[in-house]
Amino acid sequence: MHKSSTTATVVRTMMRKKRWTWVWCGWCGSAVCHRCAGLRTVLLAAVLITTLPLRSTGSEGGSERTTFELVGGQAALAAWTTSEVEMVPTDASLCEMSSGNNGGGEGETRMVPRYSGGIRISPRPVVVVAPEAKASPEACGVPSPFKLDAGVCIRLAESPSLELRSSHTATGHGSSSNSNTSNSSISGEVMCLPSFLIIGVMKGGTAEVQSWLGQHPLLHRWGGAWISGSGEAHYFDKVDSDANLQATWLSNYLRRGLALNATESPAITYTFEKTPSYVFMREEAIARVRRVLPSAKLILLLRSPAARAYSHFQHNCFKRRVWKVSNASAHLPAHIRGRVISMPSTLRGKNKRRRESVVRFVNKAFQAHAEVGDVQLLHHPCSARDFDVFVRMQANGAVDESAAITMTPTNSMVLRRGLYAAAIRRWLQHFDRSQLLILLTEAMQADMLATIDTILCDFLGIPRADYATHARTNERGFTVLEEMQSKSGKPHYGPMLLSTHHSLLRFYEEDIRELFAYVHAHDILKYWELPERSAVDGGGGNERKEEDGEGYNDDDEGNYDDDYGEEDDDDDA
Ligand SMILES: Nc1ncnc2c1ncn2[C@@H]1O[C@H](COP(=O)(O)OS(=O)(=O)O)[C@@H](OP(=O)(O)O)[C@H]1O
């Protein structure tokens, strides 16, 4: 079936150590892993390539390209796409098939650009090899056609004079050209905007999902081999105006992360990125996502907000951001003493400077007169007791076992980022519900393969890959892909105190109740161990109140709904 090497393109993606080698068969359109037992086909939703003579409307071999007209919307992109770059090239890999009498003879199959202006994306015709195969481990029974928007791809014109800086100037869009914009080597590269985004939540297991999906032969994650670390784009939360949308996109987002190189592009069809803080962006920023990626799909992982907060707190502790005010400093007011504080990620400098910043923060936030010697850095892992103090300190600003936790200007994002419902509501003002997939982290932990299957088959509608062969259970009971670098390298922390857990769940109760509009109550109740007075019976709201006010905020990007001065992003998460 995989007949000749001339029609097959070897695509090496997958595992860092290149354990998986994928072959993309240009004849039958399947991706196969030839390191697995024999030459095993792992993707059975073969593209109808038996009738695919790799013809194109424009040219052969990609030497000639066609510029396509934008058909509407996306004004911010139009200015430079039409003048500086050409839209999707006509080489077969980035094209799709269209059959019928649309401009061609009846029944004729022809290649059309996969993208024609940012709005109309024709579905890629697919033959589902095993249509009944929902139960089959190897084939996705759903995609006919793929449900996923193929995204927007561009090829930068191969003009030596094309430099991003000058293109930016030419289009007259403000002053936001970045220092790294003048790189003519990007000419000719094909770059794609993401077809889908993993928007949150931080500490919801997003890195794991990103890694798994990044192994899929049809998917290319932002950052890929080019970006180290977590590979979070933070594009939409950094863009602060529509004018900057253009320049920043080009220079920082697309160029760095979503370029397809020549080897990959034949097989990789979709790109995606994850930035877990996106979910908490303000409406203006979400509206920008909508303008740039109108048909993007969105994946949101929700973890029990109490567990998420603890994980976030420990993460901050690991990053040396958690400090404690001395208990013994008699000159400090009682409500400050012993306080555990999680500082903004923007806290910079070596020990002394950091300490001074912390003291400035404490004095400003609590109208105190602390001195440098009054604060002490806590080391990872922070204790459950430290977390408990941290949580209880949110109780009206005082250490008070009985007081309800309230939102104050100094409240930490560690807590705020567990308030999911309002954030979801904001996204759904701009995106259709069908574009958003909400998953529970705990369900993922219980069955990773099923979660990935839901994402691929039910939501994205792309074929399954053979993950099962490469999955193993790690020491924490998570299903991981072999050879993948696990993020669980840091020492794990102990369980949180039961009383902290209960306080937190009471605090989140109202928000959780609102979540039932988006997630099956049954699933939440199954996994999140709600307190007895649970949200299902509608019993008693909690005492949480949101207060507006100015917080300590030295890094307000203006794109978040809750800029209260703690870390608002985490490139190095
Ligand atoms: N397979 C699987 N199932 C469930 N949970 C998992 C899984 N893999 C990772 N994790 C846990 O996810 C936490 C990290 O989440 P993120 O990757 O979203 O973190 S980050 O926002 O990118 O920093 C982090 O939680 P904590 O260990 O509690 O901090 C990981 O342990």
DSSP per residue over 250-278, as a string?
IIIIIHHH-EEPTTTTTT--EEEEE-GGG
Tell me the domain boundaries of the chain.
55-303+429-470
Give me the CATH code for the 55-303+429-470 domain, please: 3.40.50
Out of 42-51, 133-142, 411-420, the most confident range is 411-420
Between 397 and 49, the more confident residue is 397
Tell me, using a 6 A CB cutoff, whether residue 488 lines ligand 1: yes
E strands in 430-506: 436-440, 471-473, 479-481
Between 550 and 427, the more confident residue is 427
Task: Calculate how far, in angstroms, residue 455's C-alpha sits from the geometric centre of ligand 1.
Answer: 17
Dihedral in degrees, nearest 10, Cα atoms 40, 44, 50, 56: -110
Residue range 275-287: average pLDDT? 94
Enzyme catalytic residues:
203
The answer on pLDDT for 276 being more than 50 is yes
Between 515 and 133, the more confident residue is 515
Return the pLDDT at 124: 25
Mean pLDDT rounded to a whole number for the chain: 63
Tell me, using a 6 A CB cutoff, whether residue 204 lines ligand 1: yes
Tell me, using a 6 A CB cutoff, whether residue 365 lines ligand 1: no
Tell me, using a 6 A CB cutoff, whether residue 214 lines ligand 1: no
Nearest atom of ligand 1 to the alpha carbon of 442: 4
Tell me, using a 6 A CB cutoff, whether residue 205 lines ligand 1: yes
Nearest atom of ligand 1 to the alpha carbon of 480: 1
Return the pLDDT at 449: 94
Evaluate the CA torsion angle 308, 313, 318, 319 in order and state its sign. Answer: positive
Tell me the percentage of the chain whose pLDDT exceeds 70. Answer: 48
Residue range 448-453: average pLDDT? 94
Return the pLDDT at 104: 32
Residue 159 — very low, low, confident or very high, per pLDDT cuts 50/70/90? Answer: very low
Q: pLDDT by residue (tens digit) across 483-528?
A: 665 555 567 899 999 999 998 998 899 999 999 999 999 999 999 9
Phi, psi of 358 (to 5 degrees): -60, -45
The answer on pLDDT for 392 being more than 50 is yes
Tell me the percentage of the chain whose pLDDT exceeds 90. Answer: 28
Taking alpha carbons only, the member of 206, 210, 218, 200 closest to residue 45 is 218
**43-47, 49-53, 421-425, 427-431: range with lowest mean pLDDT:** 49-53
Task: Calculate how far, in angstroms, residue 441's C-alpha sits from the geometric centre of ligand 1.
Answer: 8
CA 217-152-107 angle, to 5 degrees, is: 80
Buried b (16+ CB within 10 A) or exposed e, 303-340: bbbbbbbbbbbbbbbbbebbbbbbeebeebeeebbbbb
**Annotated binding residue at 59?**
no
Q: Which residue is closest in CA terms to ligand 1's atom 21?
A: 202
Return the pLDDT at 113: 32
Q: pLDDT by residue (tens digit) across 224-240?
A: 655 666 678 888 888 77
The answer on pLDDT for 117 being more than 60 is no
The answer on pLDDT for 343 being more than 80 is yes
Return the pLDDT at 266: 44
Task: Calculate how far, in angstroms, residue 446's C-alpha sits from the geometric centre of ligand 1.
Answer: 13
Return the pLDDT at 386: 95
Q: pLDDT by residue (tens digit) across 174-203?
A: 333 333 333 334 444 556 678 899 999 999
**Annotated binding residue at 311?**
yes
Return the pLDDT at 296: 86
Neighbouring residues of 264: CB distance < 8 A, sequence distance ≥ 6:
11, 13, 220
Residue range 369-380: average pLDDT? 93
Tell me, using a 6 A CB cutoff, whether residue 200 lines ligand 1: no
Residue 216 — very low, low, confident or very high, per pLDDT cuts 50/70/90? Answer: confident
Please state whether beta strands 31-33 and 22-25 pair in parallel, antiparallel, or not at all (unpaired): antiparallel
Residue range 548-570: average pLDDT? 40
The answer on pLDDT for 533 being more than 70 is no
Task: Calculate how far, in angstroms, residue 543's C-alpha sits from the geometric centre of ligand 1.
Answer: 30
Nearest atom of ligand 1 to the alpha carbon of 478: 1
Return the pLDDT at 165: 28
Return the pLDDT at 252: 60
Return the pLDDT at 484: 61
**221-225, 252-256, 395-399: range with lowest mean pLDDT:** 395-399
Q: Which residue is closest in CA terms to ligand 1's atom 4?
A: 445
Q: Tell me how far the alpha carbon of residue 378 is from its chain's centroid.
A: 30
Amino acid, single-letter form, for residue 376: Q
Return the pLDDT at 404: 62
How many other CB atoms are there within 10 angstroms of residue 263's CB atom? 13
Out of 399-403, 495-499, 562-566, the most confident range is 495-499
Residue 121 — very low, low, confident or very high, per pLDDT cuts 50/70/90? Answer: very low
Residue 280 — very low, low, confident or very high, per pLDDT cuts 50/70/90? Answer: very high
Residue range 434-455: average pLDDT? 95
Nearest atom of ligand 1 to the alpha carbon of 202: 21
